Amino acid sequence: MAPYSEHGAPDLLDACERALHAYPGFARNAFEASGIDPHLHLDGILHAATSGAQMQELERRSQALRARNVPSTILDRTAVLSAEPSLSSGVFGAMVVSGEGSVDNRRLGRALIAACMQTGVRLIESQTIAARCNTRRALGVVSDAGFAPADAIVNAAGAWAAQLAGIPPQYLPAVRPVKGQMIAVEVPRGYVRRPVWTPDVYMVPRDDGRLLIGATVEEHGFDARTTAGGLSHLLDGALRAAPSLDDFSVSEQWAGLRPATVDGLPYIGRTRLEGLFTATGHFRNGILLAPVTATAIADAIEGRDDHFPAFSPSRSEHITRESNG
């Protein structure tokens, strides 16, 4: 939950900011409908500096955030170590961006599935899935359960959205996979008190005692393996930031594929093919943008105003033509 920490383009930053403001109600509704708490925490994110130059950059960013009416605080070394005692004594200082934070994406996913099923949504888990379209419109979806006709279908296949079978090529979004590896370390609750960003890695505490450390950014196609090099990078960065983590066990390691776009903006909205909508290309902001993406797609399907003209899927047709020469 970090729109101001990800340095997005203006249109993306605006969307992420709207999503952050919507998140408390979104998470509360999911909790009330499902009984599963997604553990949303918006207590701020601490950005640690390990040199004078990095500290100057944080001070510049803090001034820019205040000009945008986003509260932020500059901490000296003593204040940083008081706020986060696990950090290295070599820390130079930090900036805390108020209002940012984290949500447990796994718990949120379970909460949303349960909430949807409570309202009568039918969930089909399938090994294969494809759209069915003709030259005029989208017709439905084919899965292991057979053909399901539909007035509207949404391509939300993430990094695989450009490969969804059955959609005419000119209506496929121009996305590519970018791998991210992460690890989880078992620490006492409160050992790291809030999300911490360092020059090398970020660390996010979970309520169950895990400390998530991430994340690499790797252009390796659909290779979703965890690798020695990727895990070494994460561990080295975490241990530089918090050397005492050396005594704790690594409980989990995993990799995922983010859907990236050429211009850094997602595809959200209706395509030029009747009945076909797209929601992908969110890259590192998919969980954050979930509430505004859902609202925008629902409104587009029901014929209401376009929320995000800059994210129009139709721009993918132009990008695809250029990439094909």
Q: Which two tokens stand for residue 190?
A: 């409160």
250 burial (CB, 10 Å; 0-12 / 13-18 / 19+) is middle
Whether 130 has a pLDDT exceeding 90, the answer reads yes
The mean pLDDT of the chain is: 94
Whether 324 has a pLDDT exceeding 90, the answer reads no
**Mean local confidence (pLDDT), 131-146:** 96
Q: Which two tokens stand for residue 112?
A: 């949303």
pLDDT score for 320: 53
More confident residue, 320 or 208: 208
pLDDT score for 164: 96
Q: What is the helix (H) or strand (E) element at residue 235, kind and residue range?
A: helix 228-241
Whether 101 has a pLDDT exceeding 90, the answer reads yes
pLDDT band at 7 (very low <50, low <70, confident <90, very high): low
Q: What is the C-alpha separation between 50 and 87, in angstroms, rounded?
A: 11
Write down the pTM of the prediction: 0.92
Residues 42-99 pLDDT 10s: 999 999 999 999 999 999 999 999 998 999 999 999 999 999 999 999 999 999 999 9
User: Do residues 258 and 221 make contact, with C-beta atoms less than 8 angstroms apart?
Assistant: no
Q: What is the C-alpha separation between 177 and 161, in angstroms, rounded?
A: 10
pLDDT band at 325 (very low <50, low <70, confident <90, very high): very low
pLDDT band at 306 (very low <50, low <70, confident <90, very high): confident
pLDDT score for 319: 60
pLDDT score for 144: 94
Q: What is the helix (H) or strand (E) element at residue 185, kind and residue range?
A: strand 175-186
Whether 161 has a pLDDT exceeding 90, the answer reads yes
**Mean local confidence (pLDDT), 296-324:** 81
pLDDT score for 321: 47
Q: Shortest CA distance to 184 belongs to which of 213, 162, 163?
A: 213
Is residue 172 left, alpha or beta, with left meaning phi > 0 and alpha meaning psi from -120 to 50? beta
Helices H / strands E in the chain, number of each: 7, 14
Q: Is 325 helix (H, G, I), strand (E, B) or coil?
A: coil
pLDDT band at 305 (very low <50, low <70, confident <90, very high): confident
**In terms of residues, how long is the chain?**
325
**Directed axis angle between helix 105-118 and helix 286-301, to 10°?**
20
- Tell me the C-alpha to C-alpha distance, in Å, between residue 14 and each of 4, 19, 25, 257: 10, 9, 18, 24
Residues 16-54 pLDDT 10s: 999 999 999 999 999 999 999 999 999 999 999 999 999
pLDDT band at 307 (very low <50, low <70, confident <90, very high): confident
pLDDT score for 5: 79
Q: Which two tokens stand for residue 281?
A: 């290309």
